[in-house]
Amino acid sequence: MRVEYSPGILWAGLYSVSRATRRWRLPEIDDPIQVVPFPTAEGLSRRPLIRPLPDTLGNLDGDGEKFLQRLETENNLMARWNRVHQLPYLFFRLQDRIRQLRNHGTISDWLDFAYGSPFPPGQIRAEISAFITLVARRKPQTVLEIGAGEGGTLMLLAMAAAPEATIISVDLPHGAFGGGYPLWKAIYFRQFAIPSQRMHLLRVNSHVPTTVQRVRGILADRMLDVLFIDGDHTYRGVKADWEMYGPLVAREGLVGFHDIVQHPPETGCEVHTFWRELKVRHAHVEIVADHEQAWGGIGVIETGGIGSD
Ligand SMILES: C[S@@+](CC[C@H](N)C(=O)[O-])C[C@H]1O[C@@H](n2cnc3c(N)ncnc32)[C@H](O)[C@@H]1O
């Protein structure tokens, strides 16, 4: 039998197929597809080399605590390596980087650099940021820091100081509350100062009278514009630093005390006890990110301010 394909039959066929398949349409896509650009090589190299926690802890063999401890140690080692591998480069370029940051960077750039460098500040970032802002506004000509540790605050203080400032650091090798710094690090610490500044690194005990004599000798007839006390954190230690070096601070100079927040007793940090006694007699500000943080906090006194001794 021959079938005639008339246009009418063709249209009827197409119509019934289209009706039958109307229900088969693919579901609507709610969200447009997100296009995530692949990170550039530069972006990748900026990522910290910290291994993220695995999604699943299924391979712990029942000893989760040990696993997490190991992971933390590895992460600390990676962070340390991240810093240490910059040392050869910075040996030649540190002063250039410091000069660039001084001339073109914000305080936030200074902090980014310091925290990522082999000389990280032992500070809560928001707190040291506020303190360094106070210091930078004054452009001090003379600065003394007691307690350099890894050198981070010394670097920031030098950046905040005037271009022709004299910066003095007193730190006791193997001292309590940080352990001081090895002699080779002094090569780097010197470069925190630009050529027009003077950097004096005294690796001695702040509590011996000859150290005060040496500081006086460096200052000649000048007074200190900024004193930052972050050395011996015992009550007697911090009190001695205040009594010995406080008289060298200029009228309307700044004195910063680190670690004024109450610490757990086993840390041996008693700065908060001394600070409570001192602050009632001086115009002061407390820079504390969180009173529950159990460390840190910077107390700042303006000598010669209202109510000063
Ligand atoms: C907490 S660290 C300083 C941290 C540094 N200011 C920072 O924020 O990066 C304390 C330092 O004080 C030093 N120190 C302790 N007792 C001292 C003393 N009697 N004289 C001088 N330095 C002392 C320690 O050697 C240690 O390096």
- Measure the CA–CA gap between 308 and 65, rounded to whole angstroms: 51
Q: Is the CB of 231 under 6 A from ligand 1?
A: yes
* Whether the predicted model's global pTM rises above the 0.95 cut: no
Give the Cβ contact number of residue 96 at 10 Å.
12
Give every CB contact of residue 117 below 8 A, 6+ residues apart in sequence: 83, 86, 90, 152, 155
Give nearest CA residue, ligand 1 atom 26. 178
Statement: residue 110 has pLDDT above 50: yes
Report how far residue 194's alpha carbon sits from residue 76's, in angstroms, rounded to the nearest whole number. 31
CA of 107 to the centre of ligand 1 (A): 23
Between 27 and 243, the more confident residue is: 243
> Ligand 1 in contact with 206 (CB < 6 A)?
yes
123 lines ligand 1 (CB under 6 A): yes
Lowest mean pLDDT among 25-39, 59-73, 128-142: 25-39
Q: What is the mean pLDDT of residues 73-92?
A: 84
Beta bridge mates, 301: 255, 284
Query: How many Å lie between the centroid of ligand 1 and the Cα of residue 232?
Result: 6
Residue 57 has pLDDT above 60, yes or no: no
DSSP conformation class of 11: H
Q: pLDDT grade, residue 300 (50/70/90)?
A: very high
> 80-302 falls under which CATH superfamily?
Vaccinia Virus protein VP39 (3.40.50.150)
**Residue-wise pLDDT tens digits, 268-281:** 999 999 999 999 99
Map tokens 């902090």 to a residue: 111
Q: Where are the domains of the chain?
A: 80-302
> What is the C-alpha separation between 301 and 124, in angstroms, rounded?
19
Confidence of residue 51 (pLDDT cuts 50, 70, 90): very low
Output the pLDDT for position 63. Answer: 62
